[in-house]
Structure 1
Amino acid sequence: MAEPKRRVGGVEQTPARVLVVEARFYDEIADELLKGATQRLAASGATYDVVSVPGALEIPPTIAILATAAAARHQPYDAVVALGCVIRGETTHYEIVTEQSARALMDLSVASRLPLGNGVLTVENEAQALARARVAEMNKGGDAAEAALAVLRLKRAAGCV
């Protein structure tokens, strides 16, 4: 019989301090993503700050700026949740925004060792976005918050805090 895989989970020993940066380009979608993320964070006992930006490309620099400022004040964020939506249009702008925002988020997370949940939806149309964003449906905002918290638990378990 195979050995069980080690799982890190359970109740947080120290509540997390989380930065949520949301792109407000599509208000209804952003509202649902934020609701899902904040419900999940509150259920975990995390405290969080929410900052709104115009679009997905503004999320990575905002995270970098605010995370750096918080660390300088000796009040660092334990994790970050990025929320937004990019809907395919008729030009190559979609590819630029989706690829560059995802790349920048990944680069930022890895370079700073900052647990990050990426809840930036990349979809073909508004119906797909709403289905993914709605808390009662796919709840991708909640999933992004859970991803950030899961990586934070691993970071804490590894002693990297």
Structure 2
Amino acid sequence: MFGANKGAPEAGSKLLDGRKLYIGIVQARFNEDITNALADACKAELAALGVPEKHVDHVYVPGALEVPVALQAMAEQDKYDALIALGCIIRGETYHFELVANESGAGVSRIALDYQLPIANAIITTEDLPQAVARQTDKGRDAARVAVEMANLLDALA
């Protein structure tokens, strides 16, 4: 195991060593300026954690509701150590926001559990565009760290 520390892993921790990992990214195109920034931050952090660029597959889907089906297709390939979901849902004036947020989140969780595969869910949900802009870099970076940490944790628990 990796020791008794139950807090966040430190830089250089085995849990944050991505050198041997294969990562799949599914990015929603809806709110593309935000999702592109999420993806840029995510891929930069994956590189910083040692994940080779050639070990990262990045696909695009129309929106957040389509993310789970692409994640499922990637999970079925049995070649990824972790997956990352990227999207942005901004509240509008209708119930559609809740529907998309709830269904995409439930779909991502179901794929992770069904395939016992870590999925970092960075489909951000915000009230407005300024909130999305404020979150885009940190959430993209966080998704990369979650994917690497969870892939290594599940490997250690196997």
Question: TM-score, normalized by length of structure 1?
Answer: 0.85
Displacement of 1:27 in angstroms is 1.6
Displacement of 1:14 in angstroms is 5.4
SS at match of 2:27: strand
- Equivalent residue, structure 2, for 1:42: 47
Displacement of 1:55 in angstroms is 0.3
Distance 1:26 1:112 in 2: 28
- Equivalent residue, structure 1, for 2:146: 147
Regions of 4+ moved over 2 Å = 4-14
Question: TM-score, normalized by length of structure 2?
Answer: 0.87
| 2:124 pairs with 1:121 | yes
Moved more, 7-16 or 25-34: 7-16
Displacement of 1:145 in angstroms is 1.3
Structure 2 unaligned regions, length at least 5:
none
| 2:55 pairs with 1:52 | no
Distance 1:130 1:43 in 2: 22
SS at match of 1:91: coil
The RMSD of aligned alpha carbons is 1.6
| 2:16 pairs with 1:17 | no
Residue type of the partner of 1:146? R
Moved more, 148-157 or 48-57: 148-157
Distance 1:131 1:12 in 2: 28
Distance 2:97 2:18 in 1: 41
Total equivalences in the alignment = 147
Larger radius of gyration: 1
Structure 1 unaligned regions, length at least 5:
none
